[in-house]
A and B are shown apart, each in its own frame.
Chain A
Amino acid sequence: MAAVATAPQQKSQSTWSLAWRRFKKHKAAMFSLGVVIALVLMAIFAPWIAPYDPTAQPTGDNLADFYFRGPSAEHWLGTDELGRDMLSRIIYGARISLLVGFVAAFAAALLGTTLGVIAGYFSGRPLRFYAGPLAKLAGGWSPWPFAIWRVISWALLYLLLFLVADLAWVLSGSNVQALFAGTASLNNVLSLLGLVLVWGVVLLIAGWGLFGQGKLDLDVAISRFMDFMLTIPELPLLLVLSALLRDTQGAVGQWAQSVFGESASVFIIITIIVLFGWIGTGRLIRGAVLSLREQEFTTAAQALGAGEARIMFRHLVPNTLAPLIVNATLAIGGAILTEAALSFLGFGIQPPVATWGNMLTKAQEYIFTAPWLALAPGFMIFLTVLAFNYLGDGLRDALDPRSRL
């Protein structure tokens, strides 16, 4: 897994120059690199390259003349149902797609790496997780993050207990009241029993919460959480989340708009892609770290007195870099695809902002009359995703120390 090439060489070469030499052999990947660079340049310089304003609609007497025009010298890719220039919209669409792709993949890699390395490194070594206000602690309040978490955890525990107790009352309260009012049916008796049982358990836990201490294996917690995320149907949930966050009337939606500001819809899409996107990286890094932490260099670092954070992020993470880079590259293509799918379904970035995905939505309606409207954006999504997939493939070969020159 490690990217370190240590074979003795006549002329010493760094890992990266070796990788670059291997990468250059992969013709499709080199070509894809060219495509990606061209796309990035196109996105950055969109205002200078695009021949027209992507949202400008024509004005004039015979408006109908401007709509649905096939490819011509003035409009290389034709015009859409509102007379807007398709080429300009495609060029501006690259900005959204690439922004979403790069930012989402980077953030997902960051999150996945952090959680993955924590899970792998602390596996089998439970950390103090809960200590009640009256608990006698051997190590006092240190380290300070634990001191803060300790207070938060009290609030969370008692809030949860209150909710459970309240829930039990709401579900059974009317039956119990009826029982004391004199209608003793089996249902009412059962309700009373249930209420007593739940409240008893709540009181027990509340008592434990004052004095008790608990330890938690972070690996178990994070791995369970990843399992849980894999149980949730991804695409439908993305739609649900997107509908929730993009709405301008609901409280959650308004909160999201105020947090993300003007280009809220783009960042909301990025956020929900990251929410599901980090799991693959997390599992990958966790697995790698589980084996890396048993190797001698980790023991050496520990013996030299390096702190936990230093071992994790200076010694372990750099050794997982090769699979991480490959994974992140493929994730860029995946994020672009997800954004396009959401926008296509109308749950992503909304018109009039041009994205390749939402251009396809309208285009589907006009497939009989103006098929070129669908071909251009669809082909761009396909080309971009293909390029990132080939790039990832080339990087996989290049960064694998077992593959020869």
Chain B
Amino acid sequence: MIPLLFAASVVIFTLLALQPGDPLDELRQQNPRITAEQLEQLRRAYGLDQPIYVRYFKWLGRALQGDFGQSRTYASPAGQIIFGQRLPRTLVLSGAALTLALLVAIPVGIFSAVRQYSRADYAITFLSFVGFSMPIFFLGILLLFLFAVWLPEQLPWFPRFPVQSISDFQWVQVTRGEISFFQFIGDWAFKLVLPVLALSTIQMASWTRYMRASLLEVLNQDYVRTARAKGLGERIVLYKHALRNALIPIVTLVGLAIPGVFGGAVITETIFSYPGMGRAIFDSLVEKDYNVAMAALAFLALLTATFNLLADLMYAVVDPRIRYS
């Protein structure tokens, strides 16, 4: 895992270092009278005169100590921006989306498999096709149009969901006693409804399908028939015998999807103006503030590698037949 992460960080760093335009461009524009000498001095101060691989190892040395460099646009340390401010917000958004997806997908998938070829099953299969064919950015815009524009206009009692999905309430206000805890949670939850829906749809749809397929495969196995032949009740057959084995592939799938959800949050956060990590990556690429992008991307790579490993390990935990030597 460490060599993979090292290689990934090398590639990401190189790609960002090759990006056209350096932090000095901005300075040149803001201050046309800056002399070439001063620029050269700054260039040396930022370490931009050194070859890329030297810069990489310097960056790595500092990053391992938790220093990700200075952000130009936010005028504070990039690590603090990403890990202190943005990451918790993305964790809330992605965590809620993943939980919602799981809570819907597993029961619906089970229901759909048990009632195979019923009308409900056809409807669920169709909906899941629709769900994972739906581009997340179109879904986001659609949700905004429906719940922030159209429905509130048509129905006066309908709550108008915000276009900008960030609550004004700070946790400090709760500790100071200015607002109650429930006000705080309620406001955040209300404002997160649309982005969470948008972000969870794809996973919800594909996990429903996988859950259905996985359970159907298990239900056709001999040991399930044996369990039924023994005269066990359908509930016990389903939940004690079939479901446990059917969940094994789902565990891996969920583990592998988690980093993708974080990465995919770039689009959701952009549409709903939610200042999370994805939005920070997007902004820093537009603003050429590469220290921020590097910190966030390095974290995403770490997350992906960790969850790939965890998915493998979890696989062994839930399925005792698999043993790693």
Give the B-binding residues of A (Cβ under 8 A): 163, 166-167, 170-171, 224, 227-228, 230-237, 239-241, 243-244, 247, 249-250, 252-253, 333, 337, 340-341, 344-347, 357, 360, 363-364, 367-368, 371, 374, 378-379, 381-382, 385-386, 389-390, 393
Contacts and interface: CB of A to CB of B under 8 A. Distances in A.
B199 interface: no
B189 interface: no
A283 to B, nearest CB: 12
A389 B11 CA distance: 32
B118 interface: no
B136 interface: yes
Given A367-B141, A367-B145, A239 B8 contact: no
B138 interface: yes
B264 interface: yes
A170 B280 CA distance: 33
B60 to A, nearest CB: 11
Contacts of A368: 149
A33 B5 CA distance: 42
A341 B137 contact: yes
B54 A171 contact: yes
B267 A235 contact: yes
A368 B163 CA distance: 11
Interface string B125-152: 0000110111111100110110001100
Interface in B270-325: 270-271, 278, 281-282, 285-286, 293, 296-297, 300-301, 303-305, 308
Contacts of B7: 228, 231
B36 interface: no
Contact of B137 (A224, A231, A344, A385): A344
B255 to A, nearest CB: 12
Contacts of A232: 8, 11-12, 301, 304
B46 interface: no
A333 B57 CA distance: 40
Contact of A385 (B16, B135, B297, B308): B135
Contacts of B138: 360, 374, 378-379, 381-382
B244 interface: no
A167 B53 contact: yes
Determine the main DSSP class of A at the interface with B: helix
Residue among A163, A379, A382 with most chain B CB within 10 A? A382
| In the complex, the 7 A-B pairs of residues with the closest C-beta atoms, listed nearest first | A250-B20, A378-B138, A233-B300, A386-B133, A385-B133, A247-B20, A235-B263
A231 B304 contact: yes
Contact of A230 (B20, B54, B308): B308
A16 to B, nearest CB: 26
A163 B201 CA distance: 48
A170 B19 contact: no
A300 B263 CA distance: 48
A79 to B, nearest CB: 19
Interface string B5-36: 10110011001101111000000000000000
A385 B267 CA distance: 18
- Chain B, interface size category, equals 35 or more
B101 interface: no
Contacts of A344: 137, 267
Nearest to B61: A171
Contact of A231 (B5, B130, B149, B286): B5
B4 interface: yes
A345 to B, nearest CB: 6
B144 A360 contact: no
B8 A337 contact: no
Interface string B180-216: 0000000000000000000000000000000000000
B145 A371 contact: yes
A363 B135 CA distance: 15
Contacts of A244: 15, 18-20
Residue among A333, A363, A364 with most chain B CB within 10 A? A364
B260 interface: yes
B129 A389 contact: yes
B93 interface: no
A175 to B, nearest CB: 14
Given A171-B58, A363-B141, A228 B4 contact: yes
B27 to A, nearest CB: 17
B142 A239 contact: no
26 contacts: A167-B53, A170-B51, A227-B308, A231-B304, A233-B259, A233-B303, A234-B263, A236-B297, A237-B15, A243-B19, A244-B20, A247-B21, A250-B18, A333-B133, A364-B144, A367-B144, A371-B145, A374-B138, A378-B135, A378-B141, A382-B133, A382-B134, A382-B138, A385-B134, A386-B130, A390-B129
Contacts of B21: 247, 249-250
Contacts of A171: 54, 57-58
Given A232-B304, A374-B141, A386-B129, A239 B282 contact: yes
